[in-house]
Amino acid sequence: METVQLICIGCPMGCPMTVTMENGVVTSVTGNTCKRGDVYARKEVTAPTRIVTSTVRVSGSKTGAVTVPCKTKTDLPKGDIFRCMRALADVTAAAPIRIGDVLVPDVAGTGVDVIATKDVE
Amino acid sequence: MKHDLIILGGGPAGLAAAIAAYDAGVRDLLIVERDKELGGILNQCIHNGFGLHTFKEELTGPEYAARFIAGVRERNIPYLLNTMALHVSPDKVVTLMNRTDGIQTVEAKAILLAMGCRERSRGALNIPGYRPAGIYSAGTAQRLVNMEGFLPGREIVILGSGDIGLIMARRLTLEGAKVKVVAELMPYSGGLKRNIVQCLDDYGIPLKLSHTVVDIRGRKRVEGVTIAAVDERLKPIPGTEEDYDCDTLLLSCGLIPENELSREMGVAINPVTNGPRVNESLETSIPGVFAAGNVLHVHDLVDFVSEEAAAAGRAAAAYIAAGDAERHEIPIRFEGGVRYTVPATIDPAFVRDALTVRFRVGSVMKNRVVRVLMDGEEVGKRRRQIMAPGEMEEVKLTRAQFDAHPALGELLIRIEEA
């Protein structure tokens, strides 16, 4: 049996929750005040994911922009965040760039594209 | 030069106000922006989480801004970039300056203040120690990293747990810096719970509540800071000092509405919000001068800035159409832990279909009910399991409620134990 302590992000209440797991299966969630805490806790301990946002360098911008902000198109497993960041470190994108343009396809082999979140002229 | 409406600021508030004013019939308007592009602070807020209320999806700051910038362009609303508003007179003459036109004065029938806010600086915090390089406000660091492509330091201590500081703790960690600790003077964080979990806990960054920086070491560059616990009166407790080696100190200690122009023109300021005192139309003490967004009161969510600014834009349009009118305003009274309300006063005759009253509480309160009373009669109530200073609250009133109280003498918002 394994227990994980979490703070719920559902609302400012921030319920401190204890999740009990057996062989990777959640057996109980305690400490939450409402259903949202239960849902969040189960996802967070079994398959936590995050959208990663960052920037990459830009070349040839008419407006003098040196970076373009970007994000992973969908969320990534939490454990892949730093591999994604390392892959972005060496990327330079050529202006003009449109919101939604794919800057890095299949970043770090995660199957997720990194897309631009701002137009750069 | 003359315009019906001049909007000072091209950030989220100015953009939403311009679109709403245009859609309410104002055709002769101008947005004045001091930066080289529209979008304001959203341009440097590259993280996601914007627009959940407005667009029902999670956008990054630049994406959220782009939707409003597109709205301004579709309507051909004119804007000036790289242009600073130097002065606004009480009779609404705006002095502008930029590199191509020099100094020019522009008259307006109505003015909408949307200048946003500024970060509290080291000077305002009275931190002892030397004045070496390496001390930045969190927002300055955010601009350096996200827009200018510089990493401000490698080993970081953050004072203050406002949202920008939390966001920067994660951002700097992702870019390879080591964030050693976030110290917060208050016994609770001023940031959103989501940011504490996803920006600090995710990366194992400790948050020390009831702690502050009592010394900064280093002559040329920051070499370290000393952090100490504080007592209930927020005074450092001798003997609790801890030294942290670092090359950078970020300050995320609150935001102050940027009201130099408003003060100069004689707009009455609410000392609690540091923003203008406004009526139900978000109109300041000077008729025809409106305010919205962080210049009015500091918001947590941009969605509410857009909503508020659109209301101000519509009110400005109505003023331009109708001109000065006689008003009979009553103050909104509040009890039970409410620190302020926006608006501060109302003239029921000017309330349209609905009125949103936003407010903040002064401390963390659990298990409460918010009651709205008109002349002593309860017209609405809302159960709140928890209320915190870091999260803005609101009550919505309807035209029908005002119609049912034609001689309204008192509007009261009261928080009680449930």
121 residues of chain A, pLDDT tens digit each = 889 888 888 766 678 899 999 988 899 999 988 888 898 899 889 888 889 999 999 999 999 999 999 999 998 999 999 999 999 999 999 999 999 999 999 999 999 999 999 999 9
* pLDDT of the residue at B278: 98
Q: For tokens 């918002």, name the residue.
A: B413
A53-116 folds as CPE0013-like fold (3.10.530)
Measured CA to CA, the distance from residue A52 to residue B307 in angstroms comes to 28
Q: Please name the residue of chain B whose CA is at the shortest distance from the CA of residue A58.
A: B149
* pLDDT of the residue at B294: 98
* pLDDT of the residue at B386: 85
Is the pLDDT higher at B418 or at B46? B46
* pLDDT of the residue at B129: 78
Partner residue opposite A11 with nearest CB, options B147, B198, B386: B386
Q: Across the interface, do B62 and A50 touch by the CB < 8 Å criterion?
A: no
Check if the beta carbon of residue A71 is closer than 8 Å to that of residue B60: yes
* pLDDT of the residue at A1: 81
Q: Using an 8 Å CB-CB cutoff, list chain A residues near B388.
A: 12
* pLDDT of the residue at A12: 61
Q: Is B388 part of the contact surface with chain A (CB cutoff 8 Å)?
A: yes
DSSP secondary structure code for residue B221 in this structure? B
Alpha carbon B105 to chain centroid distance? Answer: 28
Query: Rounded to whole angstroms, what are the CA distances from B333 to B55, B298, B357, B394?
Result: 33, 20, 12, 14
Query: What type of residue sits at position B228?
Result: A
pLDDT in tens, B104-118: 999 999 999 999 999
Q: Is B38 part of the contact surface with chain A (CB cutoff 8 Å)?
A: no
Q: Is A86 part of the contact surface with chain B (CB cutoff 8 Å)?
A: no
Partner residue opposite B385 with nearest CB, options A13, A50, A63: A13
Q: Please name the residue of chain A whose CA is at the shortest distance from the CA of residue B365.
A: A13
Measured CA to CA, the distance from residue A71 to residue A62 in angstroms comes to 23
Segment (H or E) for A71: strand A67-72
* pLDDT of the residue at B377: 94
Q: Is B147 part of the contact surface with chain A (CB cutoff 8 Å)?
A: yes
* pLDDT of the residue at B56: 81
Å between A64 CA and nearest CA of chain B? 10
Query: Rounded to whole angstroms, what are the CA distances from A35 to A31, A32, A38, B3, B80?
Result: 11, 8, 5, 53, 49
Query: What type of residue sits at position A108?
Result: A
Choosing among B36, B46, B386, which should be mutated to test the A contact, i.e. which has the most A CBs within 10 A?
B46
Q: Is A98 part of the contact surface with chain B (CB cutoff 8 Å)?
A: no
Partner residue opposite B146 with nearest CB, options A33, A52, A69: A69
Q: Is B57 part of the contact surface with chain A (CB cutoff 8 Å)?
A: no
Measured CA to CA, the distance from residue B390 to residue B188 in angstroms comes to 9
Q: How many CB atoms lie within 10 A of CB B243?
A: 11
Q: Which of B79-83, B129-133, B223-227, B396-400 has the lowest mean pLDDT?
A: B129-133
Q: pLDDT band at B188, cuts 50/70/90? A: confident
Q: Please name the residue of chain A whose CA is at the shortest distance from the CA of residue B63.
A: A117
Question: What percent of chain B is predicted at pLDDT more than 70?
Answer: 100
Query: Rounded to whole angstroms, what are the CA distances from B291 to A10, B14, B116, B254?
Result: 32, 10, 10, 20
Choosing among B67, B178, B194, which should be mutated to test the A contact, i.e. which has the most A CBs within 10 A?
B194
Has the ipTM of the complex gone over 0.95?
no
Q: For chain B, count helices (H), then strands (E).
A: 9, 29
Q: Is A121 part of the contact surface with chain B (CB cutoff 8 Å)?
A: no
Please compute Rg for chain A using Cα positions: 19
Q: Which of A7-11, B58-62, B160-164 has the lowest mean pLDDT?
A: A7-11
Q: pLDDT band at B52, cuts 50/70/90? A: confident
Top mean-pLDDT range of B117-121, B141-145, B348-352? B141-145
Angle of the B302-322 helix axis to the B61-74 helix axis, nearest 10: 20
* pLDDT of the residue at A7: 85
Q: What is the mean pLDDT of chain B?
A: 95
Which of B73, B48, B74 minimizes the C-alpha distance to B59?
A: B48
Q: How many CB atoms lie within 10 A of CB B75?
A: 15
Which of A116, A66, A108 minimizes the C-alpha distance to A88?
A: A108
A-B C-beta contacts closer than 8 Å = 80
Å between B236 CA and nearest CA of chain A? 27
Q: Using an 8 Å CB-CB cutoff, list chain A residues near B61.
A: 69
Q: pLDDT band at B39, cuts 50/70/90? A: very high
Give residue limits of the domains in chain A. 2-47, 53-116
Question: What percent of chain B is predicted at pLDDT more than 90?
Answer: 86
Q: Using an 8 Å CB-CB cutoff, list chain A residues near B46.
A: 53-55, 69-71, 117
Residue B302 gets the label, from left (phi > 0), alpha (psi -120 to 50) or beta, of alpha
Instruction: Strand B135-137: give its sheet, edge to edge.
Output: B135-137, B248-251, B155-159, B178-184, B207-209
